Amino acid sequence: MSVSADEFLFPRFTYYLDKSDPDIVILRRSDDSFVAAFSARGVTREGIIEAAKDDYGELVSAYRARQGQSTEGQWSHQSA
């Protein structure tokens, strides 16, 4: 079975800070999805990085689960 390199790549997301509210800083993905909110007074670089890492980890886990489901279907068809 031949597998392309694209099937092994993880999704890519960039993150940005939405500072439209002076009291709240919102971390969003490039598709405008909400990731986390922080108090503008207490926000730290470390907190933002941790939230982005946690979010990306969840996205990769979901991506792997979907890839595993599609691969399982391919294997069951081949062995039948």
Single-letter amino acid, residue 10: F
Q: What is the pTM of this model?
A: 0.70
What CA–CA distance (Å, rounded) separates 16 from 35? Answer: 10
pLDDT higher than threshold 80 for residue 40: yes
Q: Identify which has the larger pLDDT, 33 or 66.
A: 33
pLDDT at residue 50 in the model: 98
Separation CA 63–CA 13 (nearest Å): 13
Q: Does an H or E element contain 38, and which?
A: strand 34-39
* pLDDT level of residue 33 (50, 70, 90 thresholds): very high
Q: Could you tell me if 44 and 61 are in contact, meaning their C-beta atoms sit under 8 angstroms apart?
A: no
Determine the longest span between alpha carbons in the chain, in angstroms: 61
Tokens for 57, please give them: 């980890």
